[in-house]
């Protein structure tokens, strides 16, 4: 039996570095479909985080926060934007996307952003940079798909360092060795001190 075709339809990136994924499952050749979703405890690979970051320019432009070319000339101006998700809907020539995200404001405030529905087909699209958007989205979907199938996740050591604040296992091992060595020296000094005292008492009794 062939594996059902899965098509990424939705993804939401959390501040924790985890991702919620929604897929459409094609069950048979007659077009019967089903929906599947997955909330994962796995941490996203940096390439996936970057793929979402590459959508920021489209989030800002479509929401009329600025001009696409100005953002290209000054990429740092995009640092205040954060794409958190996308939703793909529609069929055929009317398939399109909605981007969601935030813009950082003064005083640690945020402005939630949701783009209007943008269709992919050029005959039904008024977004000038749809080609660039589709290219960035293709990369994001590819990374989400690998995350969904657990074939590309953040390295374990990196997860511990980035999200749990724990030490590198090798550093922990060296720390353990250092602690053990320190304790051994302390025991040796105490034993020597005790022996010296015992020796003094024996000498005095003689």
Provide the total of helices (H) and of strands (E) in the chain, helices listed first: 6, 7
pLDDT tier at 25, thresholds 50, 70, 90 = confident
pTM: 0.72
Which tens digit of pLDDT belongs to each residue from 123-143? 999 999 999 999 999 999 999
**Where in the chain are the domains?**
5-162, 167-205
* Predicted local distance difference test score (pLDDT) of residue 204: 41
R_g (Cα) of the chain, nearest Å: 29
Given a contact cutoff of 8 angstroms between Cβ atoms, the answer to whether 57 and 74 are in contact is no
pLDDT tier at 200, thresholds 50, 70, 90 = very low
């Amino acid at each position: 039996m062939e594996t059902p075709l899965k098509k990424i339809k939705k993804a939401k990136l959390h501040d924790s570095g985890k991702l919620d994924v929604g897929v459409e499952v094609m069950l048979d050749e007659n077009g019967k479909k089903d929906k599947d979703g997955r909330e994962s405890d796995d941490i996203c690979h940096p390439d996936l985080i970057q793929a979402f970051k590459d959508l920021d320019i489209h989030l800002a432009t479509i929401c009329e926060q600025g001009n696409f070319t100005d953002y290209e000339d000054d990429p740092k101006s995009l640092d205040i934007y954060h794409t958190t998700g996308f939703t793909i809907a529609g069929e055929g020539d009317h398939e399109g996307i909605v981007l969601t995200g935030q813009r950082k404001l003064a005083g640690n405030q945020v402005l939630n952003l949701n783009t209007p529905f943008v269709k992919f087909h050029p005959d039904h699209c008024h977004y000038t940079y749809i080609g660039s958007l589709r290219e960035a989205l293709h990369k994001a979907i590819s990374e989400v798909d690998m995350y969904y199938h657990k074939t590309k996740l953040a390295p374990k050591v990196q997860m511990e360092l980035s999200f749990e604040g724990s030490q590198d296992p090798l550093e922990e091992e060296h720390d353990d060795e250092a602690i053990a060595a320190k304790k051994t020296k302390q025991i040796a000094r105490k034993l020597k001190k005790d022996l010296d005292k015992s020796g003094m008492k024996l000498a005095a009794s003689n």
